[in-house]
Amino acid sequence: MRRIVSSLVDGRGFDILLVGVTMLFLLVMAGLPLVYNVLMSFQQVDMFTLGAWVRPWAGWDNYRAVLSQPEFPLVMRNTAVFVFGSIAGQFVLGFAFALFFMLRFPFAATIRGLFLVSWVMPGLVVGAIWSWMLAGDYGVVNAILSGMGLVDRPLFWKSDPGLSIWAVTVANIWLGLAFNMLLLSVGLAAIPRDLYEAAELDGAGAAQRFATITLPMMRSTIGAVLALGLIYTLQQFDLFPAITEGGPANSSNVAQYWAWQWSFQVFDFAKGATVSVMMLAFVLVAAAAYVWSTRSEVRG
């Protein structure tokens, strides 16, 4: 008895307690729904068996059904455009802004802080604002484009099937820009100044310093930002109901919105679960990349 008490007091038993509590929390709040979701994707689910664990086994039927949906290729293509377009836009612009704010000018840190406004705003609000700005007839984006002479008639961002996915992607780039900028700024700030000075004395010009010092020193940060960007983009849901609702004719529908439509508009929970499990497999790859890139950090 005294041993148990002292092991709790001297820390080792207490450690186990702490680990136990966290694991229990994770298991109940994240593990269980996850397992339930995966389980559901292999079952036949209808309105009458919603509350049950045990349902008729469906094997791979749900997966086959999802894959043979006529809109499946379109949704996958849209998801790819949305994810890669968003990540590329957020990363390139975020890096550019991060580099810009490394220049020491008055109020640089304060102005950089203001950029976070985009990040703290609810997605639905951001979606509503962009929806308004991208409106075909009275939107400010069209006004600017035609004012600059770039287009001769208004672009119908939300109702043109060729543009709708880009409308959501642009809004998402704006939404994620600050987060990318912030993480990349932290990475940039961690590079010692004298490395740049040494490189400068060694004869490296600005572009060469960027290629030989900044990029390699930022490798782990860039890996983390890209992996997190992928995860957050696949999580992005709010913008779709606010801007296009996946339309017109699924032209801006993506996997995460499609899964929601299956479950909560068609009430086919099995297919909704199936789509989300397919996404989960993909995100796991990104998560693994993230863990790997933060593990192999370069430390001087």
Partner 1 sequence: MTPQIEISGVDKHYGAYHALKDINLTIPKGRFVALVGPSGCGKSTLLRSIAGLETISSGTMRIAGESMAGVPPRRRDVAMVFQSYALYPHMTVLGNLTYSLRFKQVAKAEARRRADEVASTIGLTQLLHRYPRELSGGQRQRVAMGRAIIREPKAFLFDEPLSNLDAALRVHMRMEIRALHDRLNATSVYVTHDQIEAMTMADHVVVMRDGRIEQQGEPLELYDRPANRFVAGFIGSPAMNFVEGTVEPDGASVRLGLPGGPVLPLGRRAEPGRPVTVGLRPEHLRVDPAGAQMRLTVRAVESTGSMTYTTTESEPELMLVAQGRGGLGPGDAAPLCIDPGNIHLFDRETGLTL
- C-alpha atoms less than 13 angstroms from C-alpha of 75 in its C-beta half-sphere: 22
In angstroms, rounded to a whole number, what is the distance separating the alpha carbons of residues 10 and 58? 52
Query: Which of residues 89 and 223 has its CB atom nearest to partner 1 in the complex?
Result: 223
Q: Does 204 bind partner 1 (CB under 8 A)?
A: yes
Residue 161's SS3 state is coil
Q: How far is the CB of 195 from partner 1 (least distance, A)?
A: 5
Task: Specify the length of the chain in residues.
Answer: 300
Q: Does 199 bind partner 1 (CB under 8 A)?
A: yes
Question: Which of 7, 146, 159, 212 is close enough to bind partner 1 by CB under 8 A?
Answer: 212
Check: CB of residue 264 under 8 Å from CB of residue 257.
no
Check: CB of residue 183 under 8 Å from CB of residue 224.
yes
Tell me the per-residue interface mask from 57 to 96 with partner 1, x by CB under 8 A, - otherwise. ----------------------------------------
Question: Which of 165, 168, 178, 213 is close enough to bind partner 1 by CB under 8 A?
Answer: 213
Q: How far is the CB of 112 from partner 1 (least distance, A)?
A: 23
Q: Does 205 bind partner 1 (CB under 8 A)?
A: yes
Q: How far is the CB of 202 from partner 1 (least distance, A)?
A: 4
Q: Of the ranges 14-22, 181-189, 199-207, 272-280, which one interacts with partner 1 (CB under 8 A)?
A: 199-207
Q: Of the ranges 117-125, 216-224, 266-274, 280-288, which one interacts with partner 1 (CB under 8 A)?
A: 216-224
Q: Does 296 bind partner 1 (CB under 8 A)?
A: no
Q: Does 103 bind partner 1 (CB under 8 A)?
A: no
Residues between 169 and 198 with contacts to partner 1, criterion CB under 8 A: 192, 194-195, 197-198
Q: How far is the CB of 19 from partner 1 (least distance, A)?
A: 31
In angstroms, rounded to a whole number, what is the distance separating the alpha carbons of residues 238 and 220? 30
137 burial via Cβ count (<10 Å: 0-12, 13-18, 19+): exposed
Query: Which of residues 200 and 245 has its CB atom nearest to partner 1 in the complex?
Result: 200
Q: Does 224 bind partner 1 (CB under 8 A)?
A: no
Q: 219-235 and 72-102 helices cross at what angle (nearest 10)?
A: 140
Residue 240's SS3 state is helix
- Bridge partners (DSSP) of residue 43 are 57
Q: Where are the beta strands (DSSP E) in the chain?
A: none
Question: Which of 9, 111, 216, 292 is close enough to bind partner 1 by CB under 8 A?
Answer: 216
Query: Which of residues 147 and 216 has its CB atom nearest to partner 1 in the complex?
Result: 216
The encoded tokens of residue 181 equal 């900028």
DSSP states of 166-232? HHHHHHHHHHHHHHHHHHHHHHHHTS-HHHHHHHHHTT--HHHHIIIIIHHHTHHHHHHHHHHHHHH
Site of interaction with partner 1 (CB under 8 A): 192, 194-195, 197-205, 208, 212-213, 216-217, 219, 298-300
